[in-house]
Amino acid sequence: MSWLSNVSSLKQQVTAQVTQGLLSATKLLESDDDAIFKKVQETHKPQGRQVDNLDGLFSIIGKILLHDNPKSDHDEKSVVHEVPASLINKICCKLACNCTDRDAEETTMTILEKELQNYLWDEKLVIVAAAFAVNYGEFYLLTQLDTPDPVAKNMAFLKQLQFIKEIGSASQNLSGAINELIHAIMTVIKCVLQFSVLDPKYFEAEEQPSAPTEIARATYWTIYSVVTCGSYIAKLVGLRNQNTMAEMTSQLKTLASKVSSMQKVLQVKFSHRKHEIETYKWLINRFNTYQDHTILSDLFDVEGGKTALVVGHDNKKEVDINSLKGSNVWLLISGPDACHAEMKTLTKLYLKLQTKEQNRYHIVWLPIVDEFNEREFSSLQSLMPWYTVRNPKIIKPVAIRYIREVWKFTNETILVPLLPKGHSKSLTPRTLDPLWISGDLLSLFSVHDQKKSLWHQNLQITLDLLLGGIYPEDSSKPASILCLYGGEDIKWIEDFTTMINRVKNSTKISIDLVYVSKSNAIDHYNNAIFDFITAKKVGGYWKADETHSWHFWTRLESIFSWGIRDGKNAKINDTMRDVMSLLSFNGSYKGWAVFGQLGSSHKVVKATGEVVLDVLRINNWWKAGTNVDSFMLALNQQIEQHLKVQKHHCYHIVLPTTVPRVPDEMMICAICDRKMGKYLMYRCCE
């Protein structure tokens, strides 16, 4: 009778292991989902689609697990050669061997990490379901007591499976729980397969795509449920303990409920995504067949009968979109941190145009924000005399997606013209480069002509190009030299202005001085410079927060950006060389100076502060009776000679992120012609 006691002992061990596994499963179901999900994400390293005809394979699985044998479009013969049989068999073994030494959580993670890490989410689910179907199919056939196959009957006897249906309600409840979980598993897999018909680009564009996140979560729990259910089926061999069966039933029902709830969430997200994609495609078609300004209404989601637009600096004044009928409209699209100086400068140009064109042109501001900051929005809105959205939140997500994907908006401010009777080709986004260069809003409607006139002629960096529309020319006064200078070295500024006064007194030449702050300067740090200029009455100054200074540096950056887009290289293009020299002044603490004449076709004369002072101190080239033209010519010659014989420091240029990507070979030092090194710099406004 010793063998009977051994069998009894073995059954007790198996029952104890089952009970322990049930306790472990209960603990996992109550654990932190997020912690598990992080581990799952780390195992996901897909290498593209690896299993074709997933729907066909899923159909065959359904015929096994759900006994579903309707007429199908999927021919088993066409699916067979596509089945990853070796992988399915490996997972079959893992499911069958999970009845003793490892719990379901460990097995699930092993399958995800070792076997399925290179597969897509839907492939993982179908492959595991196929492995489960193989094991379940064998169990199902062996438990059919009325089977005429003697082999099946004898195998069932050896596994003592004939007792399952003899136990009564406990086995019936367990069988019902297994079927309930299988139905939940198949339903969630079917739901995940639906997502594969959606455009994957729609998810890739999102920083935190919620649907793929839920798919990953559902994948884990579905595979965990398969592993658990498979292990319970394996443990039924020789099992007669009704209490253990009841505990299994409870766990399987809990899993079925969890998986079903995830399927409902996924189904809602799928329906929502499908609707979003259909709406997005509809909006694309609307813009492709654009006719008039009424398309604006499709960009906003406004409730309660409120209007979408208000006047910027008077946001209580509502604007009906229909009032724009017959007008030329620009959509002004910017990020949440648009520069105040940029908006102030645009305001000046806009008001100038409104006066000239009798209010036939209007701007509508659409701020694209990820997180709405009411204070920042209101601060910018208060600067604007044109129309703005009531609140950035009313801009539809599909409209934002269109602006980012079709108009390629990245946070650099753009303008999109909406003509009264336009066509889709007129909806071409314009960067503001031509606007900052020309100072004329209408130039944006003839952007190609502007480009041709800027770069396809013998362009010279004259004072008119640098200051047109920024510094007013007084035609009533005799032609004078205008000197722009800068830097934050107060000692150099004192020496330079003293030297300029000496030149003016000796030659009687009129030289007007204007101090230009760096674009990123903090004005209160430069108060000593401003106080010195005021006290000594040595000209004027432009603070960093004033539009003159901002427009000056931005115009240079715009000319540079346009040159980069047009393939201009400083090594062979003098204009790009001059622009890079001027831009280098903006990134330097040391002094610099630019001399020129408004109304003159001659290039400006420029140099670093050290060079300018050295040249001006050589007093044998400027003297009484020197006129403006001869002074400028001699100054330029002296600077060029000085640079040839004296050691110098090469330039460095700080470019904003809005400048297009610059090929390294195009960044050539304007002094020594060598290729410039590139460094990444992070800088706070302070």
pLDDT of residue 368: 94
Task: Tell me the per-residue pLDDT of 265-309, one tens digit each, with 9 for 90 and over.
Answer: 999 989 988 898 899 999 999 888 887 788 899 999 988 778 999
Residue 10: pLDDT band with limits 50, 70, 90? very low
Q: DSSP string of 62-123?
A: HHHHS------SS-HHHHHTTS-HHHHHHHHHHHHTTTTSS-HHHHHHHIIIIISTTS-HHH
Task: Tell me the per-residue pLDDT of 358-397, one tens digit each, with 9 for 90 and over.
Answer: 778 899 999 999 888 899 999 999 999 999 999 999 999 9
Residue 562: pLDDT band with limits 50, 70, 90? confident
**Phi and psi (nearest 5°) for 677?**
-80, 160
Q: Would you say 357 and 445 are in contact if contact means Cβ atoms under 8 Å apart?
A: no
Give the strands of the sheet with 387-389, arranged side by side.
314-319, 309-311, 387-389, 361-367, 328-334, 414-418, 430-431
d(CA 113, CA 40): 8
Residue 207: pLDDT band with limits 50, 70, 90? very low
Nearest by Cα to 28 from 314, 228, 295? 228
Residue 516: pLDDT band with limits 50, 70, 90? very high
d(CA 577, CA 86): 65
Task: Tell me the per-residue pLDDT of 366-377, one tens digit each, with 9 for 90 and over.
Answer: 999 988 889 999
**Average pLDDT in the chain:** 81
Burial 266-288 (b: 16+ CB within 10 A, else e): beebbeebeebbebbeebeebee
Q: Which residues pair with 388 in a beta bridge?
A: 310, 365
Task: Tell me the per-residue pLDDT of 215-227, one tens digit each, with 9 for 90 and over.
Answer: 889 999 999 999 9
pLDDT of residue 555: 93
pLDDT of residue 32: 53
What is the sign, positive or negative, of the torsion defined by CA atoms of 425, 427, 431, 433? positive
pLDDT of residue 613: 93
pLDDT of residue 197: 81
Q: Taking 80 as the threshold, does the pLDDT of residue 142 lie above it? A: no
Task: Tell me the per-residue pLDDT of 412-463, one tens digit each, with 9 for 90 and over.
Answer: 899 998 877 666 566 788 888 888 988 888 877 664 544 455 665 567 899 9
| Residues whose CB is less than 8 angstroms from the CB of residue 611 and which lie 6 or more positions away in sequence, other chains included | 639, 642, 643, 646, 648
> Over pLDDT 90: what percentage of the chain?
36
Give the three-state DSSP class for 382. Answer: coil
Q: How many CB atoms lie within 10 A of CB 666?
A: 18
Q: Taking 90 as the threshold, does the pLDDT of residue 192 lie above it? A: yes
Nearest by Cα to 349 from 454, 442, 450? 442
Which comes out higher in pLDDT, residue 222 or 7?
A: 222
What is the sign, positive or negative, of the torsion defined by CA atoms of 479, 481, 484, 490? negative
Q: Which residues pair with 516 in a beta bridge?
A: 542
d(CA 50, CA 123): 8
pLDDT of residue 116: 93
d(CA 130, CA 134): 6
Residue 458 burial by Cβ neighbours in a 10 Å radius (0-12, 13-18, 19+) = exposed
Residue 616: pLDDT band with limits 50, 70, 90? very high
Residue 474 burial by Cβ neighbours in a 10 Å radius (0-12, 13-18, 19+) = exposed
The type of residue at 561 is S
d(CA 586, CA 486): 8
Q: Would you say 347 and 338 are in contact if contact means Cβ atoms under 8 Å apart?
A: no
d(CA 489, CA 492): 5
Which comes out higher in pLDDT, residue 56 or 163?
A: 56
pLDDT of residue 683: 60
pLDDT of residue 503: 92
Which comes out higher in pLDDT, residue 604 or 289?
A: 604
pLDDT of residue 384: 94
pLDDT of residue 469: 87
**Phi and psi (nearest 5°) for 295?**
-65, -20
Q: Taking 60 as the threshold, does the pLDDT of residue 107 lie above it? A: yes
Nearest by Cα to 80 from 62, 56, 116? 56
Residue 684: pLDDT band with limits 50, 70, 90? low
Task: Tell me the per-residue pLDDT of 143-179, one tens digit each, with 9 for 90 and over.
Answer: 665 566 676 666 656 665 555 555 556 678 888 899 9
Average pLDDT over residues 241-254: 87
pLDDT of residue 85: 87
Task: Tell me the per-residue pLDDT of 652-665, one tens digit each, with 9 for 90 and over.
Answer: 677 766 666 666 66
**Helix (H), strand (E), coil (C) string for 433-487:** HHHHHHCCHHHHHHHHHHHHHHHCCCCCCCHHHHHCCCCCCCCCCCCCEEEEEEC
Average pLDDT over residues 23-49: 72
Residue 20: pLDDT band with limits 50, 70, 90? low
